[in-house]
Amino acid sequence: MTTIRITFGDQVITAQLADNPTARDLAAQLPLTLSIRDFNRLEKVGKLPRPLTMDGVPAGDDPEINDLGYYAPSGDLVFYYGDVAYFNGIVRIGRFGGQDMDVIERHPDGQEITIERA
């Protein structure tokens, strides 16, 4: 498994990437700097510089709190801190430890984060 480090201001959290083509495609783009914003008070989203592959992954998923995902229709990396339902176009690409989601939830809209291999 690939571990990534995400820097939110002066705080750093880690996640384990899944073993699927979409997660490997994200890892190939690292390091990245993204501006994130809140979406429906359930998730933070950040537009990736290019779409990730959807080859070899299910058409959709029902992510859980603490998941890192990719939403293909908008090209966003998604940090799930709330419970969302199944949607076509969602791929689960990683997982955070439970203690990290409050850092993500509190992060202000429009501020940048950095994602890199740990």
pLDDT, tens digit, 9 for 90 and up, residues 50-102: 999 999 999 999 999 999 999 999 999 999 999 999 999 999 999 997 666 88
pLDDT at 102: 85
pLDDT at 89: 97
Determine the Cα–Cα distance for residues 42 and 44; give it in Å rounded to an integer: 7
pLDDT at 84: 94
Chain centre distance of CA 89 = 14
Which percentage of the chain shows pLDDT scores above 70? Answer: 97
Do 6 and 101 touch, CB atoms closer than 8 A? no
Token pair of 106, please? 């509190």
CATH architecture group of domain 3-117? Beta Barrel (2.40)
Token pair of 57, please? 């992954």
